[in-house]
C-alpha cells in the first residue's frame, strides 16, 4: 500500500517538475503577454522620475515590479501610476491585461488617444485617466466593460460623442467626464445615478437633449478576431498556471489545501480563512491596530495579492447569535452597495472568531482628518468638507431608503465616516448593530457602541429609528464645521450651563457664526455655505425625532432644495 502511494507521489512529482519546466520554457520562448504589454507602455512613456526602474522586460512575470499588483495566478490586477509625471502615449497592448481591475494613470501628461483595446479589459473595475492631455473620442468599446464601477476621464481634451452604451453598464457608480471638449447629447437619465449633470460639466459643445440613441459599437472585425485569439491564448495560459498552482508540491506535501478550500467565494463576498487573516495582519499584531471601537479592534492588513484591508475582529462579548444568523446578516449587509458606503469584502467565522474584512481607506476617517492629522497633512479644506457632508448623507439615505430590509446605522459619528483616496465620504460600520442584535440595549451602548453621538430617545428608552441616524449625522456635521469633538462640544456647552447644541443655537441667534467655524480653515470658506450647513445640522439634531428631517431630505437641503422653508419654521418656533 505504502509503496503504491510512494510511486504515485513520485510520479506526480516528476510530472510537476516536467510541467513547471515546460511552463517556464513556454514563457521564455513565447514571452509573457503581460510583461510585453507593460513593457510597451513603459517604452512609450517618458519617465523623468524613473518610476519604471524595476520594470525589467526579461522577467518571466511582472509581479515583482513596483506599481504593479498580481493575483495568485501571477496575472496583473492593478497598475497604479497616478501623479508620476509621465508623458507620452497609451498603448493598445494594455488590452491584453485580461485580469486587470484597476488602471490608474491620472495626473500625468499623457497625450494621444484612449486605445479602443481598453474595451477588452473585461474585469476592469476602475479606469482613472483624469488630468492628462488625452485627445480623440471615448471609445465605444468601453461600454463592454460590464464590471466597471469608476470611469474618471475629467480634465483632458477628449472630443466626439459620449458613447450611449455607457448607460448599459449597471455596475457604474462614478462617471466623470467634466472639463473636456465632448460633443453631442448627454445621456442624462434621472433613474441612472452616475449620470448627474456634474459628470459632464464644462464641455461647452454638449447638448442636454437627452435623445435616446441607438447603441453603437461595430468595432473593427480583425481587432476583434485578434482579441479573441489573445483571450483564448490567455485562457489556456491561465489554465496551465492554475493547474500548476493547484498541484504545486507544497500543497500536496503540507496539506495546506484544506485550509484554502475554506476560502469559498459567496458571490462577491469572500469567506476568508483565519490563517489568511493572521498572515495579513501579522497575527493580529498590536502594531497594526488602526482603531479600537466598541465592537472590537480594527487592524490594518495586507493580503498576499498586495491589497490593503481593514480587519475588524469582534470582541467575544459582541459575538452572540448562531453562525447561520451571522452569515445571513453579513450577506444582507454586503448587498448595500453605493459609492458612499464601505463595501464589505468578506468575513471569517470560526467557533471562536468573528471577523469582518473591508477595503482599507487611505485617508482615515472624518475624525482622524479633523483631529489626529499629521503635521505634513494639510487641513481639510471647506469644499472637501462640503462634499463629505453630502456624500455621508447620500450613503445614509441609501441605507434607509434603498436597502431591503432597511438598514439603520445606529452609530453615526465622525469616526465611522471614512475617506477614500479622493476624500469621498464612505460610511462604515453599518449593519453591525443588527448583526450583533442585542436584547439589552444598555449593554449595546455601554459595551458595543459609543456614547456622545447618540440621540436622546435612544439613550433614554433604547428606541431607535432612521431619525436616530439623522441625529448622529447632525452631530457629525457640526464636527465637520467646528472641528470640535462631539464630547468637547458637550463640554463647551456645559461650561456655560446649557445643553449641547444650545451653544451653537445661541451663536446662530447672536449671529456669531464665525466664532464656531474651525480655526484650521483659516477663514477660507464660503460664509453662506457654512451658514446653511449649520442650519441643516441644527434641524437634524432637534430633540424630537419627529421634527428631524429624513436623510433623503437632508440630501436635498444640502443640494439647495427646501432648506429655507424648514429653517424658517424652525426659527419661528425657537423665537
Ligand X SMILES: *[C@@H]1O[C@H](CO)[C@@H](O)[C@H](O)[C@H]1NC(C)=O
Contact between 159 and ligand X by CB under 6 A: the answer reads yes
Only one of the segments 155-163, 237-245, 378-386, 559-567 lies at the binding site for ligand X (rule: CB under 6 A); that segment is 155-163
Only one of the segments 69-77, 141-149, 151-159, 311-319 lies at the binding site for ligand X (rule: CB under 6 A); that segment is 151-159
- Which residue matches cell numbers 474584512? 357
Binders of ligand X in range 125-144 (CB under 6 A): 131, 133
Within 13 Å and on the Cβ side, how many CA atoms surround 295?
Answer: 26
**Least distance in angstroms from the C-beta of 255 to ligand X:** 33
Binding-site size, ligand X (CB under 6 A): 25
**Least distance in angstroms from the C-beta of 248 to ligand X:** 22
Looking at the Cβ atoms of 85 and 283, the one nearer to ligand X is 85
Contact between 189 and ligand X by CB under 6 A: the answer reads yes
Q: What is the largest CA-CA distance in the chain?
A: 94
Binders of ligand X in range 231-260 (CB under 6 A): none
Out of 9, 14, 171, 210, point to the residue binding ligand X (CB under 6 A): 210
CA–CA distance, 83 with 385 (Å, rounded to integer): 23
Q: What is the DSSP string of 231-278?
A: HHHHHHHHHHHHHHHHT-HHHHHH--HHHHHT--EETTEEE--HHHHH
Of 322, 319, 333, the residue nearest 409 (C-alpha): 333
Looking at the Cβ atoms of 331 and 422, the one nearer to ligand X is 422
For 69, the 3-state DSSP assignment is strand
Only one of the segments 179-187, 248-256, 492-500, 542-550 lies at the binding site for ligand X (rule: CB under 6 A); that segment is 179-187
Contact between 327 and ligand X by CB under 6 A: the answer reads no
Looking at the Cβ atoms of 35 and 348, the one nearer to ligand X is 35
Looking at the Cβ atoms of 10 and 210, the one nearer to ligand X is 210
Classify each residue of 414-437 as buried b or exposed e, where b means 16 or more C-beta atoms within 10 Å of its C-beta.
bbbbbbbeebbbbbbbbbbbebbe
**Least distance in angstroms from the C-beta of 157 to ligand X:** 5
CA–CA distance, 75 with 97 (Å, rounded to integer): 8
Only one of the segments 188-196, 214-222, 376-384, 506-514 lies at the binding site for ligand X (rule: CB under 6 A); that segment is 188-196
**Least distance in angstroms from the C-beta of 224 to ligand X:** 19
Could you say which of 176, 307, 411, 518 is catalytic? 411
Q: Are 120 and 143 in contact (CB under 8 A)?
A: no
- Catalytic: 372? no
- Determine if residue 300 is labeled as part of a ligand binding site: no
Look at the chain and count its residues: 575
Contact between 213 and ligand X by CB under 6 A: the answer reads no
Out of 191, 209, 218, 250, point to the residue binding ligand X (CB under 6 A): 191
- Residue 500: DSSP 8-state: T
Contact between 183 and ligand X by CB under 6 A: the answer reads yes
Contact between 550 and ligand X by CB under 6 A: the answer reads no
**Least distance in angstroms from the C-beta of 284 to ligand X:** 36
Only one of the segments 152-160, 313-321, 367-375, 431-439 lies at the binding site for ligand X (rule: CB under 6 A); that segment is 152-160
Binders of ligand X in range 31-90 (CB under 6 A): 43-44, 49, 56, 58, 85, 87, 89
Q: Are 476 and 541 in contact (CB under 8 A)?
A: no
Which residues sit opposite 461 in a β-bridge? Answer: none
**Least distance in angstroms from the C-beta of 64 to ligand X:** 10
For 159, the 3-state DSSP assignment is strand
CA–CA distance, 254 with 272 (Å, rounded to integer): 20
Q: Are strands 102-104 and 181-185 parallel, antiparallel or unpaired?
A: unpaired
CA–CA distance, 501 with 523 (Å, rounded to integer): 22
The distance from CA 569 to its chain's CA centroid, rounded to whole angstroms, is 38
Out of 61, 157, 465, 556, point to the residue binding ligand X (CB under 6 A): 157
Contact between 197 and ligand X by CB under 6 A: the answer reads no
Backbone conformation region of residue 36, classed left if phi is above 0, alpha if psi is from -120 to 50, else beta: alpha
Which residues sit opposite 46 in a β-bridge? Answer: 87
Burial of residue 49, with CB atoms counted within 10 A of its CB: 0-12 exposed, 13-18 middle, 19 or more buried: exposed
Contact between 181 and ligand X by CB under 6 A: the answer reads yes
Which residues sit opposite 298 in a β-bridge? Answer: 291, 312
CA–CA distance, 345 with 271 (Å, rounded to integer): 9
Q: In what order do the strands lie in the sheet with 126-128?
A: 68-70, 76-80, 102-104, 126-128, 150-152, 174-176
Contact between 212 and ligand X by CB under 6 A: the answer reads yes
**Least distance in angstroms from the C-beta of 88 to ligand X:** 7
**Least distance in angstroms from the C-beta of 53 to ligand X:** 8
Only one of the segments 1-9, 186-194, 387-395, 471-479 lies at the binding site for ligand X (rule: CB under 6 A); that segment is 186-194
Map residues 88-117 to x or -, x wherever contact with ligand X holds by CB under 6 A: -x-x-----------------x-x------
- Extract the annotated binding site: 312
Q: Give the active site residues.
A: 411
- Extract the annotated binding site for ATP: 312
Query: Can you give the binding site for ligand X, defined by CB under 6 A?
Result: 43-44, 49, 56, 58, 85, 87, 89, 91, 109, 111, 131, 133, 155, 157, 159, 179, 181, 183, 189, 191-192, 202, 210, 212
Amino acid at each position: 500500500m505504502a509503496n503504491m502511494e510512494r510511486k504515485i507521489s513520485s510520479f506526480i512529482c516528476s510530472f510537476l517538475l516536467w510541467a513547471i519546466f515546460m511552463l517556464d520554457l513556454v514563457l521564455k520562448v513565447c514571452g509573457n503577454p503581460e510583461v510585453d504589454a507593460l513593457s510597451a507602455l513603459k517604452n512609450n512613456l517618458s519617465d523623468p522620475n524613473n518610476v519604471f526602474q524595476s520594470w525589467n522586460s526579461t522577467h518571466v512575470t511582472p509581479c515583482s515590479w513596483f506599481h504593479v499588483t498580481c493575483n495568485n495566478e501571477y496575472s496583473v490586477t492593478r497598475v497604479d501610476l497616478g501623479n508620476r509625471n509621465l508623458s507620452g502615449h497609451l498603448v493598445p497592448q494594455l488590452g491584453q491585461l485580461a485580469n486587470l481591475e484597476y488602471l490608474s494613470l491620472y495626473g500625468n501628461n499623457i497625450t494621444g488617444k484612449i486605445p479602443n483595446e481598453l474595451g477588452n479589459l473585461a474585469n476592469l473595475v476602475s479606469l482613472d485617466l483624469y488630468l492628462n492631455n488625452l485627445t480623440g473620442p471615448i471609445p465605444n468599446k468601453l461600454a463592454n466593460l460590464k464590471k466597471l464601477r469608476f470611469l474618471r476621464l475629467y480634465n483632458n481634451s477628449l472630443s466626439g460623442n459620449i458613447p450611449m452604451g455607457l448607460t448599459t453598464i449597471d455596475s457604474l457608480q462614478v462617471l466623470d467626464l467634466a472639463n473636456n471638449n465632448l460633443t453631442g447629447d448627454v445621456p442624462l437619465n434621472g433613474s441612472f445615478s452616475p449620470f448627474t449633470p456634474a459628470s459632464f460639466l464644462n464641455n461647452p459643445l454638449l447638448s442636454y437633449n437627452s435623445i435616446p440613441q441607438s447603441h453603437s459599437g461595430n468595432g473593427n472585425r480583425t481587432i476583434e478576431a485578434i482579441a479573441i485569439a489573445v483571450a483564448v491564448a490567455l485562457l489556456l495560459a491561465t489554465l496551465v498556471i492554475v493547474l500548476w498552482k493547484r498541484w504545486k508540491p507544497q500543497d500536496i506535501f503540507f496539506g495546506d489545501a484544506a485550509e484554502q478550500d475554506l476560502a469559498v467565494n459567496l458571490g462577491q463576498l469572500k469567506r476568508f480563512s483565519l490563517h489568511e487573516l493572521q498572515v495579513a495582519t501579522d497575527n493580529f499584531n498590536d502594531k497594526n491596530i488602526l482603531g479600537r471601537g466598541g465592537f472590537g479592534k480594527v487592524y490594518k492588513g495586507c493580503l498576499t495579492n498586495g491589497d490593503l484591508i481593514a480587519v475588524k475582529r469582534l470582541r467575544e462579548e459582541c459575538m452572540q447569535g448562531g453562525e447561520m444568523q451571522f452569515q445571513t446578516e453579513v450577506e444582507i449587509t454586503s448587498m448595500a452597495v453605493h459609492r458612499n458606503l464601505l463595501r464589505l469584502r468578506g468575513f471569517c467565522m470560526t467557533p471562536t472568531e468573528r471577523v469582518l474584512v473591508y477595503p482599507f481607506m487611505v485617508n482615515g476617517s472624518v475624525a482622524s482628518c479633523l483631529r489626529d492629522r499629521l503635521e505634513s497633512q494639510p487641513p481639510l479644506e471647506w469644499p472637501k468638507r462640503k462634499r463629505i457632508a453630502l456624500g455621508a448623507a447620500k450613503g445614509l439615505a441609501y441605507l434607509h431608503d434603498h436597502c431591503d430590509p432597511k438598514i439603520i446605522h445606529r452609530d453615526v459619528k465622525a469616526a465611522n465616516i471614512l475617506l477614500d483616496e479622493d476624500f469621498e465620504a464612505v460610511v462604515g460600520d453599518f449593519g453591525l448593530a443588527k448583526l450583533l442584535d442585542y436584547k439589552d440595549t444598555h449593554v449595546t451602548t455601554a459595551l458595543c457602541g459609543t456614547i456622545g453621538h447618540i440621540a436622546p430617545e435612544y439613550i433614554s428608552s433604547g428606541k431607535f429609528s432612521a431619525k436616530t441616524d439623522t441625529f448622529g449625522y447632525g452631530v457629525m456635521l457640526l464636527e465637520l464645521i467646528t472641528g470640535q469633538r462631539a464630547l468637547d462640544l458637550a463640554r463647551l456647552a456645559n461650561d456655560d450651563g446649557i445643553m449641547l447644541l444650545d451653544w451653537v443655537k445661541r451663536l446662530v441667534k447672536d449671529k456669531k457664526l464665525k466664532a464656531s467655524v474651525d480655526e484650521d480653515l483659516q477663514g477660507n470658506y464660503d460664509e453662506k455655505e457654512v451658514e446653511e450647513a449649520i442650519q441643516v445640522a441644527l434641524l437634524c439634531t432637534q430633540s424630537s425625532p419627529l421634527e428631524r428631517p429624513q436623510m433623503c431630505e437632508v440630501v436635498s437641503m444640502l443640494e439647495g432644495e427646501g432648506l429655507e422653508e424648514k429653517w424658517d419654521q424652525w426659527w419661528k418656533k425657537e423665537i
